[in-house]
Amino acid sequence: MSSMAGGKLVKALALTAGVALSFAPGRAVWADNITDAFIGAYNTSGLLEQNRALLRAADEDVAIALSALRPIINWTVAISSNYNRRNISDVVTRTDPNNFFTGLTLSQLLYDGGAAVLGKQSAQETVLSTRQTLVDIEQQVLFRGANAYLEVLLQEETVQIRLNNVDVSAEELRASQDRFDVGEVTRTDVALSQAQLASSQADLAVARGNLDTARAEYVNAVGKSPGRTAGQPSLPNLPSSEPQAVSLAQRNHPAILSAQHQVRAFDLIVAQQRANLGPNVSLNAFAGITETYDNDDNIEDGSVSLDFNQPIYAGGRLAASVRRAMATRDSSRANLLNVQKDIAQGVTDAYARFQAASASLRASSERVRASNVAFDGIREEATLGARTTLDVLNAQQDLLDAQLAEVASRIERSRAAYQLVQAQGLLTAERLGLAVQIYDPTLYYNLVKKAPAQVSRQSKDLDRVLKALRRD
């Protein structure tokens, strides 16, 4: 890959870092809708950074596997002291030469039955699998951001309902006190109203505590404190039927795609281990100079050899390696089946959850309407003496419960909708159209896939990339 591509990656990483800094805690930047929560979660997630680094490590495994196909050249310097004692025809001679050697050695694999190539191909499949794992992690990060936003919204609306209920309870207490003063009700009615107010105030305190907890989770998931929320988000595009949702998931979910690449990687490893049972041929050479300290003697030496090796017996290690690779491959195939089943079940569960939440919301809305009418009527009847204070308080509680249930149902419907999107494998920054610098995993891979030497231009591009990543 050219240095231009390396510069593009550096620029992309720098832009990503700049966006991330704009979401750092302490800056007066306020997210007020679910899209802002998505953006903050994507730009500030340490989990995403961790798995991007793991992907870069997998990229380097391809370069390491490729290096096995290239010549290995070493510069060697050795200082040695030898002791020789010879007894020839009753003549004993002793020598203590001190030698200095410097030279170059070269080793080039010529043939290994394709084992090195298979190792490289397996590493490439592992890279593709790790990329899909990164996409799955991205889904988890984005859903956590969405869930954090919805939880803040739920607790904010709950606090508002509880606050309104405190006001209504206070109003009912004043009404009971006024009616008691004129002898229309007893002190028991006043005590009931006082208890209702105290209960409402306690529930409000709990709701505010839950809101603080939700905001703390939002900071953790999104990277900043929430501002005033914009209300219920619009629902994402959803499939028209459960079979359609399952079909989309089987084609798109990154967990399935990752498992498929894992199976192919282990198939290649089995073939590689079998190739190791066969012969290999390598070219070996060295050239250097040996000098003796005791005198001015020096030897210029060099050799070239073509070495053929065929394993005959290695203590059972090679056969065990093949069987181990086969067992690991079989495990990955079973894992693929399990993942496919789990994803299908996850889609079914999410679809059913969305349908149930939608039905619950419709029923809750009707319950709120009816409870509101009932409360207004009972309170009016109480002023005429046809209803007791307890009747009014019970109607008030019924209305409160209906309002809380409606809010919870509406939040659950939105949560279930995004769970369904995630279950299909579609909850990604690119598909959501987020205004973020999308991380491109191919840029780094293209820089390292040909295993550039340390003195090459690509290696210098990599140095700049690592500096941008603050790994230097």
Q: Which pLDDT value is given to residue 28?
A: 39
What's the mean pLDDT in 313-326?
93
pLDDT at 96: 62
pLDDT (0 to 100) of residue 12: 43
Q: Are 342 and 253 a contacting pair, CB within 8 Å? A: no
Angle at 162 between CA 161 and CA 167, to 5 degrees: 95
Mean local confidence (pLDDT), 455-467: 72
Calculate mean pLDDT across residues 402-421. 93
Question: Is the CB of residue 142 less than 8 Å from the CB of residue 38?
Answer: yes
Residue 26, pLDDT above cutoff 50: no
**pLDDT at position 290 over 90:** no
What angle (nearest 5°) sits at the alpha carbon of residue 49, between those of residues 443 and 20?
95
Residue 398, pLDDT score = 86
**Which pLDDT score, from 0 to 100, does residue 285 have?**
93
Q: Which residue has the higher pLDDT, 400 or 415?
A: 415
pLDDT for 30 equals 47
pLDDT at 437: 92
Rounded average pLDDT over 391-414: 88
Write b or e for each residue in 96-135: b if 16 or more Cβ atoms lie within 10 A of its Cβ, otherwise e: eeebeeebeeeeebeebbebbbbbbbbbbbbbbbbbbbbb
Residue 9, pLDDT above cutoff 50: no
| Sequence letter at residue 135 | V
Higher pLDDT pick, 455 / 254: 254
- Which tens digits make up the pLDDT trace of 196-253? 889 889 989 999 999 999 999 999 999 988 888 888 888 999 998 999 999 999 999 9
Are 402 and 371 contacting, i.e. CB atoms less than 8 angstroms apart? yes
pLDDT at 15: 39
Evaluate if residue 17 carries a pLDDT over 60. no
Looking at the chain, the whole-number percentage of residues with pLDDT higher than 70 is 89
Q: What is the mean pLDDT of the chain?
A: 86
* 345 vs 23 pLDDT, higher one: 345
Instruction: For residues 236 and 432, give the distance between their C-alpha atoms in angstroms, rounded to a whole number.
Output: 9
Please check the confidence at residue 298 and state whether its pLDDT lies above 70: yes
Q: What pLDDT, on a 0 to 100 scale, did the predictor assign at position 185? A: 78
Are 218 and 148 in contact by the 8 Å Cβ rule? The answer is yes
Place of tokens 């004043």: 174
> How far apart, in whole angstroms, are the C-alpha atoms of residue 279 and residue 89?
46
Which range scores top for mean pLDDT: 94-98, 185-189, 420-424? 420-424
Which residue ranges form the domains of the chain, and what is each CATH number? 31-70+113-276+315-439 (1.20.1600.10), 73-111+281-310 (2.20.200)
Predicted local confidence at residue 168, as pLDDT: 84
pLDDT band at 23 (very low <50, low <70, confident <90, very high): very low
Q: What is the pTM of this model?
A: 0.83
User: What is the mean predicted confidence (pLDDT) over 444-455?
Assistant: 82
* pLDDT score of 51: 95
State the pLDDT at residue 425.
Answer: 95
- For residue 82, what pLDDT is reported? 74
- At 271, the pLDDT band (50, 70, 90 cuts) reads very high
Q: What is the mean pLDDT of residues 1-25?
A: 41
Question: Residue 216: what pLDDT?
Answer: 95
Between 281 and 184, name the one with better pLDDT.
281
Section 50-72 average pLDDT: 93
- Which residues touch 425 (CB under 8 Å, ≥6 apart)? 135, 136, 139, 248, 249, 252, 253, 254, 255, 256, 343
pLDDT tens-digit readout, 381-393: 877 777 877 887 7
pLDDT at 18: 41
Over 70: is that where the pLDDT of 64 sits? yes
The mean pLDDT of 307-327, rounded to a whole number, is 93
Encoded amino acid at 383, one letter: T
pLDDT at position 217:
95
Looking at residue 408, its pLDDT comes to 92
